[in-house]
Structure 1
Amino acid sequence: MNMRQLEAFRAVFRAGSVSGGAALLHTSQPSLSRLIADLEASIGFALFTRGRRGMVPTIEGRLFHEAVEKSYLGMERLRDTARGIAESRDGEIAIGSIPSVAQSLVPRALTGLRDASSNRRIHISVGTAPALINAVLLNDIHIAVVGATVTLQDVETVFKIEFDGVCLIPEGHPLAGSEAPVDIMEMDAGSFVSYDRQLLEVMRYAPSVIDHIVANAAVTSNSTPTLVAVSRALSKPAIVEQLAIKTTGLTEGLVARKILQTSRHGLALVKRPDRVLPPPAQQFATAFQNIVTRLFEGGADLTDGARSLSASPPHSF
C-alpha cells in the first residue's frame, strides 16, 4: 500500500468510475485500474464492485474510505502547519498584551526581532486578560502577555512570575521616612490613591482590605502610569504593584515601601496548547522572559527606593 494507490482509490470513490477517477488524476484508465487492483491485493479485500453505474464501493470499501479520509485530513493539517511556519518567517506574527506592559516590556522584547532585510510584520493587540486569552484560543494571536493571577487552565503557560503589591510614597510625606511596611487599614480617607476594585481583586487582596481601599482612596484607576502621576501631583501615596517601579519611568521623587497586607500580582506568557509557536514568536517569548527575570534576578527587593530604580538606563533591563 502506497500513496499513489490511496490517491487512486480516493479518486475512483469520488468520481464513481475509473474513467472519472483517471480524469481527476490526469492519468490513464488502465494505470488507475492497476493501482486499485494492487491496493486490493495488498489489503486483502475488494474495495469496489463493478456494475452498470460504474464502481460501487463495498461495505469494506466505505469503511476503508473513512479511515483514508481521516489520514488525509491529518496530512492537510501537517501541510497547513508547515505553510504557517514557512510564512511566519517573513509574514505577520500576532502578539497580545495587557495595557500595563504594552508600552514598556513588550517593546523591549521586540528589539531582538528587528531585521532590516526581513519583510516580517508584527501586530500587537492590547486588551484585557480574558479578551487576550480568548484571542489565543481562537488562533487570532500567537502569544499573549496577561496577568498571572487570572484563570489560565485553558491555555498553556510558557512563562510565569508573581510579585507583591507596593506603596509609592512622595518624598517629604510622613510615611516616606519609615522603613516599616505600610498598613493599608490605617490609611485615612482621602489620604492615598489606588488601583480600582477590579485590579485589587486580581491582586488577591482580602475582601475587607479591598472594601477599605475603594471606600477611602482619593483617586482610583486601572492605569499604573496615571496613579504614579497623580501620586506625585497630589503628594499622596499610591497603592500599586512592584513592577510599576521598573516600567513607568515616572517615579522620580517617590520612594517605595512594602505593604503589610498580602497580595499577589504577576505576568504570564500564554499560548494555545496545541499550537506550535513560529520562530519569531518564540524569540519574543524568550526575550520577554529574560527581561522580566532580570528585573527580579536574585530575588532583589524592589522596595529599596523608587527614585534610584527609575534612574536606571533602559538597557539595564
Structure 2
Amino acid sequence: MAHFNIRQVEAFRAVITLGSMTKAAELLGISQPAVSRLMMDFQAAVGFRLFNRQRGGAEPTEDARRLFAQVEKLFIGLEELNHQVHAIKNLSSGTISIAAMGLYANGLLPEIIAKFRKSYPDIAIKLDSQPQDRIVEWVSSGRADIGVATLPIANASIPVVELLRRPALCVFHASHEFAGRSEIHARDLASRPFVSFPRGTPFRFEVDTLFDREGVDRIMMLEASTHEAVCNLVAAETGVSIVSPYSPHLRRNSQLAFLPFFPAIPISLGLIGDEDRLSVAARCFYDFVIDYVNQIKARRQAADAARTPDTAHQPT
C-alpha cells in the first residue's frame, strides 16, 4: 500500500469543502492540474475511488465523505495544537509546580506569586509546602518544576542558585526588656527560656553550635517544628528564639519584636531547578524570581548607602 502525504490530504479537504478542484487550486495557490494529480495520487494511496466524474465538477463518493469526516477531525486537532503552541509560547497557558519549605511557602513566595500573576494571569501555579530533604527529591523526579529551600542542600543532583543571604534574627515578645535595644548578643540569652527547633535540623545544629562556642547556656524546655510555631510560642511569652529573616508575615505580628543577632548566623535562600528541563512557563517564573530578588537586593543596597555617611572626602 502506497503512503499518502499531508499535501494530498490538504488538497482532498479543500476539494471536498469547496466542491471544485478549480476553487481548491485557487485556495491552495497551485494549478488545477496539480490538484488533479494530488487527488489521483491520494486515491491510489488509499486504494478506493474518491470522486465520481460529473459535469461541472467531481462528486465525492460515500467512502470519500466518510474519509473526509476523519480528515476534519485531524485538522481540528492540528488547529487546537497550533493554538496550544501559541498559548505556551506567549504564556497564555501553562502550569507551574513549586515545592518550598513552609517558611517560604507561607512567607516570601506568596508575594512573588501574586506579582507574577499580575503579568501572567493565565498560568496555573501549584505551591506545595515540603520539608527541606524532600524538595530536591520532588524537583529531581519532576513532581515539582522548581524548589525553594534553605541552603546548603546535601547531595543536590540539580542546579541550585543562591537567591538571598541574610543574618538570622532574635525574636522576643514586644514587652520584653530587650525592646529598647538595637541588637542582641548571644551572652544576652544566658539562662533565659529559649524556644528551639527540633534536634537534628540543620538550623538547630547551627544555633546550638554557636551558643556552645560562646559558652552560653540557655534554658531549653520548648521545641517547635516550624518558624510560625516558634514565633507563636514567643508571642505567648514562653521565651525568646533565633529565627530566619525570611518570614515577613510573622514579623507583622504586633506581639513580636525582632532585632539583629550576634555573632551573626547567615541564612541562605536557594532556588532549585534545572533550567534546561523547565517548561516555558516554569522558566519564566524561575527568571521572574531571580529578577524579583535582585530588585530587593538593589533596594536594600540603596537604603544602606543612604544611611551610611560619605567619608570618602573627610580628612583622616
TM-score (normalizing by structure 1)? 0.57
Offset at residue 91 of structure 1 (A): 3.2
What does residue 278 of structure 1 align with?
A: 279
Give the 3-state SS of the residue equivalent to 1:172 in structure 2: coil
Q: Which amino acid is the alignment partner of residue 145 of structure 1? A: V
1:104 aligns with 2:110: no
Does structure 2 conserve the Cα–Cα contact (< 8 Å) formed by 1:156 and 1:270? Answer: yes
TM-score (normalizing by structure 2)? 0.57
Change over 3 Å in CA distance of 1:120–1:153 after alignment to 2:
closer
Further displaced range: 145-154 or 207-216? 207-216
Equivalences for 1:4-15 in 2 at 5 Å?
Answer: none
What does residue 254 of structure 2 align with?
A: 252
Give the one of 171, 175, 199 matched to 1:172: 175
What does residue 231 of structure 2 align with?
A: 228
CA RMSD of aligned residues (A): 3.8
CA deviation string 1:192-214 (max 9, x = no partner): 32333344547734636379999
Further displaced range: 91-100 or 249-258? 249-258
What does residue 124 of structure 2 align with?
A: 121
Give the 3-state SS of the residue equivalent to 1:259 in structure 2: strand
1:26 aligns with 2:3: yes
Give the one of 195, 204, 207 matched to 2:197: 195
Larger Rg: 2
1:150 aligns with 2:153: yes
Aligned equivalents of 2:184, 2:93: Cα separation in 1: 51
Does structure 1 conserve the Cα–Cα contact (< 8 Å) formed by 2:101 and 2:131? Answer: yes
What does residue 78 of structure 2 align with?
A: none
Further displaced range: 177-186 or 233-242? 177-186
Change over 3 Å in CA distance of 1:173–1:149 after alignment to 2:
same
What is the aligned residue count?
Answer: 222
Change over 3 Å in CA distance of 1:226–1:87 after alignment to 2:
same
Aligned equivalents of 2:86, 2:142: Cα separation in 1: 15
Equivalences for 1:258-273 in 2 at 5 Å?
Answer: 258-272=260-274
Does structure 2 conserve the Cα–Cα contact (< 8 Å) formed by 1:184 and 1:260? Answer: no
Q: Which amino acid is the alignment partner of residue 272 of structure 1? A: D
Aligned equivalents of 2:103, 2:88: Cα separation in 1: 30
Further displaced range: 195-204 or 102-111? 195-204
Offset at residue 240 of structure 1 (A): 0.9
Aligned equivalents of 1:214, 1:187: Cα separation in 2: 5
1:298 aligns with 2:300: yes
Q: Among all aligned residue pairs of Structure 1 and Structure 2, give the percentage whose two residues are the same amino acid.
A: 16
Further displaced range: 216-225 or 128-137? 216-225
Does structure 1 conserve the Cα–Cα contact (< 8 Å) formed by 2:151 and 2:269? Answer: yes
Q: Which amino acid is the alignment partner of residue 229 of structure 2? A: T
Aligned equivalents of 2:166, 2:95: Cα separation in 1: 33
What does residue 92 of structure 1 align with?
A: 95
Does structure 1 conserve the Cα–Cα contact (< 8 Å) formed by 2:164 and 2:269? Answer: yes
Offset at residue 145 of structure 1 (A): 0.8
